[in-house]
Amino acid sequence: MQAFFFGLGFSSQASARAIRERDRSALVSGTVRSPEKANLLADRYHQVLQFDGTRETPAIAEALVSASHVIQSIAPDDNGDPVLRFFRDDLAAAPDLKWLCYYSTVGVYGDFGGDWIDETAPLVPRNMRSDRRVLAEQEWRDFATTRGVPLTILRLAGIYGPGRSTFDKLREGTARRVIKPGQVFNRIHVEDIARVTALAAEARLDGTFNLADDEPAPPQDVIEYGAKMINMPVPQDLPYETAEMTPMQRSFYRDNKRVSNRAIKTALGIDLLYPDYRAGLRQILESEQ
């Protein structure tokens, strides 16, 4: 396997590790935005190339010639998906390409008033970010169909893991228990993203799947549980109506749904490593110790 990641961020780096743990002969390359990060990650990957989403890079086009599996985690912009904008022809001509993966978001569904939904739910996104994701998903489906290779679209819930969790916000003093009655969110541990990506890559899975935990929960419950785990005071309640939030933060609270993960678990024959926030937070604390 020669895997190429567009966007070696938090989830992609974990997925790259999972691929190499399952296949020691796998070569993994990818892109970052800055030369500083390229230098930082250079010794961890076969190639680390710079791509800021604004122009084609000949070195990336050359690397795609040998890619067998391509994973795209870069968010779309006003002009659509940056990878297809600049590298569509290179991907179309890649002789060894066998599988594509696109990291999307459960935000494409919009608001369902707390009801359970699955992949058959209509897409009614309620902000521009999610609108762009819907369009980018279809761009990748159209390309994969034309190219004749399987495509896995993973609609990710709120991502957390070591270094990016409730514990970090509590220690930084930025954790807030914003209370909006009836509000729930799904989450997904980064190691579940990694494992699913690696398994889907091996199976060359085709289709669109939610990747969320088993237990959507109110955000204040997660903060309270985490605070008690590390013996910190539980932050005071803040009513949603009066809480100070950025427009982006407030936009997350406009969507209220419970996202089913049954399809991806059935497709791969697995259960999640961390099916709820309690299991995920326990793993993070153990990894710190």
Instruction: For the chain, list the domains and their CATH numbers.
Output: 2-163+187-214+258-274 (3.40.50.720)
For residue 48, the surrounding DSSP H or E stretch is strand 47-50
Task: Give the C-alpha separation, 105 to 83, whole Å.
Answer: 17
Q: Are 31 and 8 in contact (CB under 8 A)?
A: yes
Residue 289 has a pLDDT of 87
Residue 249 has a pLDDT of 87
Residue 172 has a pLDDT of 97
Residue 9 has a pLDDT of 97
Closest by Cα among 169, 211, 213 to 187 = 213
Residue 203 has a pLDDT of 98
Residue 178 has a pLDDT of 96
Q: Report pTM.
A: 0.97
Taking CA atoms, 130 is separated from 108, 123, 253, in Å, by 5, 10, 14
Q: Which tokens in the block code for residue 194?
A: 């990694």
195: CB partners within 8 A, 6+ apart: 18, 270, 273
Q: Return the half-sphere exposure (C-beta side, CA atoms, 13 A cut-off) of residue 44.
A: 15
Identify the segments of the chain with pLDDT beneath 70: none
Percentage of the chain lying above the pLDDT 90 cut: 97
